[in-house]
Amino acid sequence: MRTVGHFINGTETNGSSVEFSEIYNPATGEVQARVALATKTDLDAAVASAAAAQPKWAATNPQRRARVFFNFVGLINRDIDELAQLLSAEHGKTLDDAKGDIQRGLEVAEFAAGAPHLLKGEFTEGAGPSIDMYSMRQPVGIGAGITPFNFPAMIPLWMLSPAVAAGNAFILKPSERDPSVPIRLAQLAVEAGLPKGILNVIQGGKSAVDGILHHELISAVSFVGSTPVARYVYATAAAAGKRVQAFGGAKNHMIIMPDADMNKAADALMGAGYGSAGERCMAVSVAVPVGEATADRLVEALRPRIEKLKVGPATDKSSEMGPVITKSAKERIVQLIDSGIAHGAKLAVDGRGLSLQGYESGYFIGPTLFDNVTADMDIYKEEIFGPVLCVVRENSYDAALRLTMNNPYGNGTAIFTRDGDTARDFASRVNVGMVGINVPVPVPLAYHSFGGWKASAFGDLNQHGTDSIRFWTRTKTVTARWPSGIKDGSEFQMPTYGVDESERVR
C-alpha cells in the first residue's frame, strides 16, 4: 500500500513515525493509501532544517526569490492534470473543481512573485534637522500553516507563497485526509529552485498541531478550519507569543430581491450551494428570498435544476458533484437533514439514500433543498458543510439584512438585485468580511485580501493580498542622523527633532 510521508529538508520521508492513518477514496469508501503521523522528533527535524536554511534565504534579494516563484508557477501549470487527478482521488471533488482549487492557489503564487515591490518600505528625507527615517519589512523567521481537507492545494498555496516569498521558512501541516498534493507541491517548489529546508511538510493530527503551536522557534501560525478549532489555535498560539491568524466556519447568506433575475440567481445558487458538495467555507448555505412571491419563484426555479444535477465520481467527466470526504461526514449531514424535517422545515428535494451503481459504498449525498427554514432550527444554526441549501423566507429587505447580520458567522454574503441603491446599502451596512453583488461566491482575487468577520476569523490580518505580506513580516523603522548633524552636548528631553517654539499652539 502506498504511504504518504513528510517532506523534510527536501526529501520525502516517514521519519520516526510509528503511527499511520488511512486515506480513503470517498467515491468507493475503500482505503487507497496511508499517511505517516509525525512525532515530536519529526517536527523538530523539520524546524531544524528550516532554521538552518532561513537566514540565507532571507538574505537572498527579493528579485531572486521571485524568480523561484515564476518557476514554481510554471511547474504547477505543467503538472496541473496530474495534481488534479491526485486531488480528486483523495478529496472526491470533480476534476474541473480540482483544477479550480489549484488555479486559485496558483494565483497567489503568481502574486508572491511580486515580492520585490510588496516588500518595499517607506522613506522620509529630512524628517528633522539632518535626520532621515525609513522602514524595512523583514521576515518573521519560521512560519507555519495548518490547512483543511477541503482545499488541499489552494489554501496551502495561499499560506506558503507570501510567507516564503517574504524570506521566511515554512512548516506546512495539511489535512491527513488528503495529504498527497501538498507533498507534490513541496517537491515542485524544490524543483523550481527553492533551497532545501525552506518548505517542509509535516503530516499528522492534533498532536502535530499542538507541537506547532508550542514550538519556540515558530514565530507565526496561519490556520483554516472549524470555528471551535480556530478559537483554540488562536488562543494557544497567541499565549505562546506567536503572531496568529485563524479562520473558522461560516454560514453564508444570499439575499434574493424581488427585482433579481431569477434564472441567474438560481444558477448562481446551484454552483454556490452544491459545488464541491458544499464543502466550502464560502459556500452559500442559506438563500433568503424577500417576499413570498420571490420565494415561490426561487424554489420553483431551483427544484428542476437540483433534480438534474449529475452526481458521480471524479472519474466520470460528466459529474457535476462528487461525494463528501468521509463516512462520518456523510452521517452527520444525514442527521442534520433528519433534524430539519423533525423541526418542521419543508424538504423540497431529498438527497438522502442516493446510491450509484458500482459506488454503493461511496460517501455520496444528493443535493438537498429545504424550504420554510427558520433561524431557530439546527440546519440554520450549524455549518452543515454538505450539499444542503436552506431557504429562509423574509418579508422585507431590512429583515433579510438583519438575519444576515445577526448570524454569529461573518465569512461571506451576497445579494442579487438590479437596484444599485439596495446593493450599495447592503455592501456598506452588512457586518460580513466578503460581499458579493450579483456574485454568489465573492472570493477575492489574489491581490485583494481574503478574510471573514465575527466568529469566522480571529486575528487582525487576512490571507493573501497585501495583508499577507504584513502578516509574514515585521516592520522595522530606522531613524538616522550622521555626525555633521549632531549638536554638542547631551539632550534629556523627549526628542522632538527640531520643533520651533513659534510652531506651538498657545
Q: Which of 281, 284, 373, 400 is catalytic?
A: 281
Cβ(373)–Cβ(379) under 8 Å?
Answer: yes
Cell numbers representing residue 255 in the block: 439575499
Residues 6+ positions from 487 with CB-CB distance below 8 Å: none
> Positive or negative, the Cα torsion across 492, 498, 500, 504?
negative
Coil, strand or helix at 319: coil
Active-site residue, 390 included: no
Cα-atom radius of gyration of the chain, to the nearest Å? 25
d(CA 33, CA 385): 25
Backbone conformation region of residue 342, classed left if phi is above 0, alpha if psi is from -120 to 50, else beta: alpha
32: number of CA atoms within 13 Å, CB side? 19
Cβ(33)–Cβ(23) under 8 Å?
Answer: yes
d(CA 290, CA 100): 32
- Three-state secondary structure readout of 29-96: CEEEEEEEECCHHHHHHHHHHHHHHHHHHHHCCHHHHHHHHHHHHHHHHHCHHHHHHHHHHHHCCCHH
Instruction: Find residue 477's DSSP bridge partners.
Output: 135
In this structure, the strands spanning 284-289 and 388-391 are parallel
Cell numbers representing residue 493 in the block: 528631553
Task: Cell 471533488: give the residue.
Answer: 93
Exposed, middle or buried: residue 411 (CB in 10 Å: 0-12, 13-18, 19+)?
Answer: buried
Question: Of the candidates 414, 406, 464, which has an alpha carbon nearest to the alpha carbon of residue 441?
Answer: 414
> Positive or negative, the Cα torsion across 377, 381, 382, 385?
positive
d(CA 129, CA 12): 57
Q: Could you tell me how far CA 398 lies from the centroid of its own chain?
A: 30
Task: Cell 527579493: give the residue.
Answer: 62
d(CA 147, CA 171): 11
Amino acid at 225: G
Instruction: Find residue 243's DSSP bridge partners.
Output: 220
Instruction: Please give the positions annotated as active site.
Output: 281
